[in-house]
Amino acid sequence: MNFFLERSELRDLYEKVVANQRISEADAVRLFQTKDLNAFGAIADFVCRRKNRDRASYIINRYINYSNYCILSCQFCAFARKKRDADGFQYTVEEIVQKAREALALGITELHIVGGLHPSLPFNYYLEMLRALKALDPRLQLKCFTAIEVLHLAWLARKPVPETLQELRDAGLNSLTGGGAEIFRKSIRSAIAKGKESAEEYLDVHRTWHRLGGRSTCTMLYGHIESIEDRVDHLRQLRDLQDETRGFTGFVPLPYQPENNAIPVKKPPTGFDSLRTIAVSRIFLDNFDHITAYWVGMGLKLAQVALSYGADDLHGTIVQEKIFHMAGATSPQLQTENEMVKAIREAGRVPVQRNTFYEPIKEWPANGAVSPEAPPGRTAVLEGNLATA
């Protein structure tokens, strides 16, 4: 048994996990309440290694926000703008294609595209965008739209959600993003994102997409006004849907950024809280293969540490991230592939470049130079973040 667990108050939970027994919501609350960092880290690391051995992944991708105009005004959002605002923007399909073309030259395998709920763009704009991007390179994986954007697009198309999703899929959509989950419990949700789709609607869009054969990620925005019980309730609802569909490829906990919004929280979640949230997620979500340490919100240094606390993925390398930074994130705007590989190696893991579905593209040797094939400046490019919309 791990040294840290021998005398730990969490020893019974470790034994449960080793025996492949599912932990309960009460167990998860206990994990969230403990201060025994090394003990919950050891349990989460055990689960992570059982699922992913010593591999840890990253993706070369670019985020594009097609627009920050939004008809809603979620209280936590520092990204959305109204048409009267001087710093609102929207890109034409041609401008998006140009950004994608430039990013393809850098070696991206995925475009991650989200935006606000635009007041006037027609449904056809979104279809044309997908078709034009697929025409650039059919191998480029398009991970686009949050659940609430899908509901907005269904409203624009005047079609039921399944037909809307099918049409988007026919146009080139490969995966839905996980943004918009925030916190499911109604009392918290209405305090931070009034007017947004309900938890049931969020889950139902993903359920429908999964039933069509699609895959998606999911998220949780933590560290604002929610309680530990609210977090566990959120995780339980995700675990339930995963039991039903098996359609989630990974879970991405998103640390709340406190600036430029209307939620009265002075500081973002601490490092301890972020490690604990990742660890509890890893242990509780026993039917998820992958947990991401989202370095844009946590910083790369803490995300690297999180690889020993249950995370097996660092997400992408990033340029021009807008939304976390508009909300106060102080992380840099990009990481090179070299930096990601180095961070993973230092943490004692084997770096793996992955695709949208967490399938390996390339496994790096455990030691040595990154590769002559990978120029030092090679980056993935992102604009925006998973919390948008």
Q: Please report, as ranges, the residues that interact with ligand SF4 according to CB under 6 A.
A: 70, 72-74, 77, 79-80, 116-117, 148, 193, 196, 388-389
Q: What are the residues whose beta carbons fall under 8 Å from the beta carbon of 198, sequence distance 6 or more? A: 186, 189
User: What are the start-end ranges of the H helices in 19-75?
Assistant: 25-33, 37-52
Residue with smaller CB distance to ligand SF4, 144 or 279: 144
State in angstroms the smallest separation of the CB of 76 from ligand SF4.
Answer: 7
Tokens, residue 239: 């675990």
Q: What are the residues whose beta carbons fall under 8 Å from the beta carbon of 53, sequence distance 6 or more? A: none
State in angstroms the smallest separation of the CB of 81 from ligand SF4.
Answer: 9
- Main-chain dihedrals φ then ψ at residue 249, nearest 5 degrees: -85, -30
Closest CA to 388 of 222, 264, 221, 258: 221
Residue with smaller CB distance to ligand SF4, 379 or 388: 388
State in angstroms the smallest separation of the CB of 177 from ligand SF4.
Answer: 11
Q: First CA to last CA across the chain, in angstroms?
A: 44
In one-letter notation, the amino acid at residue 190 is S
**In this structure, are residues 182 and 150 in contact, taking their beta carbons and an 8 Å threshold?**
no
Residue with smaller CB distance to ligand SF4, 46 or 79: 79
- Tell me the sheet residues that pair with 64: 113
Residue with smaller CB distance to ligand SF4, 157 or 193: 193
Residue with smaller CB distance to ligand SF4, 70 or 157: 70
State in angstroms the smallest separation of the CB of 342 from ligand SF4.
Answer: 33
State in angstroms the smallest separation of the CB of 73 from ligand SF4.
Answer: 6
